[in-house]
């Protein structure tokens, strides 16, 4: 187990500088164009694939960094470049992680390469969980999967929403209810192969921010997938459902806590994305304040502006430290006894909204125009307090963890 440190080693610094260079040279120059177009930036994804950033190997290397800092470091630099394009680059990872975490070796070897494609023919994947009536309340999920034993096929019906890459993906990973009497314990995940009949894109959302990332509904109408597309296999599912049906109090608590630990471990990565966006806005505001003159002097000479920048940098650094602590705890196997994963995501996302708003204010009228990037960064930052659990859900998780009480 690596000791916690706030100093990146030489290898990590090299990777960080490499990603930062790609973000500065490739992502940033394209950011405004793809934000306006509100389309998937396929050329940028292809460039990321050519240099090795858009690949399973890259994310695996960062994920297995023994210090735990590989993923947050990479996320911060990519999202420093631009949140919408960065999410288009990392969005496939959500589906890939779902297969890695729950799939068999055969499923991993078969489907993850198809999620990414090749540098000459890039593909994307989608993870489909949220529904129109089941966002924070995953227990309200209605998409059903029914097993057709005679054909050894699963039949999926329902509508998913807020799916990154939904409908344009080569491979979709769909979470569905297999036993409604078991609530959230009766869910399972399925691989929907390319070109499967019955899967279609519903509404494509025109969003306030992260416009370069494709977000849409996914409609499933009698979608039939082979039994081999159930993640983990039917034997494993049957065993899990049987245990859940026992309804033993101790066993139920163990299942719930394991699920909580899984969600907690993923949230620091979103916190790192928020840190990247906040840092980008702060840097623009700092440079502007040092060069913009009013009343015969740079505006940073004014205490009101200087103090804002001091607070912005302090909050960004504090957010990064929370993210790094949680990331290190996750890789070290330390329990989140105070919901440290949710803490990092909550604080970093709130900081991103606040810092980007302050950046707009420091730039004044210029900050309100699309000629300067802080306007886009401010719009992008709004998503961090919403996806991967809203700020209200994070506070609920933290409060329940601290108190041990079923706070509602």
Helices H / strands E in the chain, number of each: 14, 11
Active site residue 388: yes
Return d(Cα 116, Cα 162) in angstroms, integer: 21
Return d(Cα 156, Cα 221) in angstroms, integer: 7
Query: Using CB atoms within 10 A of its CB, is residue 370 exposed (0-12), middle (13-18) or buried (19+)?
Result: exposed
Catalytic residue among 217, 264, 375, 388: 388
Three-state helix/strand/coil letters over 191-232: EECCCCCCEEEEEECCCCCCCCCCEEEEEEEEEEEEHHHECC
Asked if residues 160 and 174 have their Cβ atoms less than 8 Å apart, the reply is yes
Closest CA to 161 of 145, 147, 179, 142: 142
From the centroid of its chain, how far is CA 156? 25
Asked if residues 155 and 220 have their Cβ atoms less than 8 Å apart, the reply is no
Structure tokens at 408: 């509602």
Catalytic residues: 388
């Amino acid at each position: 187990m690596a000791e916690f440190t706030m100093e990146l080693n030489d290898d990590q610094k090299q990777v960080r500088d490499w990603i930062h260079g790609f973000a500065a040279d490739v992502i940033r120059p394209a950011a405004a164009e793809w934000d306006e177009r509100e389309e998937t930036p396929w050329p940028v994804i292809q460039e990321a694939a050519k240099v090795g950033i858009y690949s399973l190997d890259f994310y695996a290397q960062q994920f297995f960094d023994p210090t735990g800092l590989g993923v947050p470091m990479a996320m911060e630099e990519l999202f420093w470049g631009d949140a919408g394009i960065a999410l288009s680059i990392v969005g496939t990872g959500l589906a890939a992680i779902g297969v890695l975490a729950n799939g068999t070796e055969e499923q991993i070897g078969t489907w993850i390469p198809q999620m990414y494609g090749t540098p000459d023919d890039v593909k994307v994947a989608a993870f489909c969980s949220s529904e129109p009536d089941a966002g924070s309340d995953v227990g309200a999920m209605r998409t059903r999967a029914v097993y057709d034993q005679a054909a050894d096929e699963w039949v999926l019906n329902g509508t998913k929403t807020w799916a990154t890459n939904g409908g344009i993906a080569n491979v979709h990973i769909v979470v569905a209810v297999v036993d409604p009497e078991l609530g959230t314990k009766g869910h399972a995940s399925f691989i929907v192969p390319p070109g499967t009949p019955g899967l279609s894109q519903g509404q494509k959302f025109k969003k306030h921010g992260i416009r370069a990332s494709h977000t849409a509904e996914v409609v499933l109408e009698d979608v039939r997938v082979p039994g081999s597309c159930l993640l983990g296999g039917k034997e494993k599912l049957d065993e899990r459902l049987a245990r859940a049906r026992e309804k033993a109090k101790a066993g139920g608590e163990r299942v719930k806590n394991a699920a909580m630990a899984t969600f907690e471990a993923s949230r620091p990565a979103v916190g790192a994305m928020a840190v990247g966006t906040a840092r980008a806005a702060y840097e623009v505001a700092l440079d502007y304040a040092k060069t913009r003159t009013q009343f015969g002097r740079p505006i940073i000479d004014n205490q009101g502006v200087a103090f804002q920048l001091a607070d912005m940098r302090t909050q960004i650094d504090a957010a990064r430290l929370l993210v790094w602590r949680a990331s290190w705890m996750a890789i070290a196997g330390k329990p989140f006894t105070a919901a440290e994963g949710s803490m990092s995501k909550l604080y970093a996302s709130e900081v991103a909204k606040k810092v980007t708003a302050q950046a707009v204010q420091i730039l004044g009228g210029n900050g309100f125009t699309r000629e300067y990037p802080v306007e886009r960064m401010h719009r992008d930052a709004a998503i961090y307090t919403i996806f991967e659990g809203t700020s209200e859900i994070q506070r609920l998780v933290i409060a329940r963890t601290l108190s041990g009480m079923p706070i509602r």
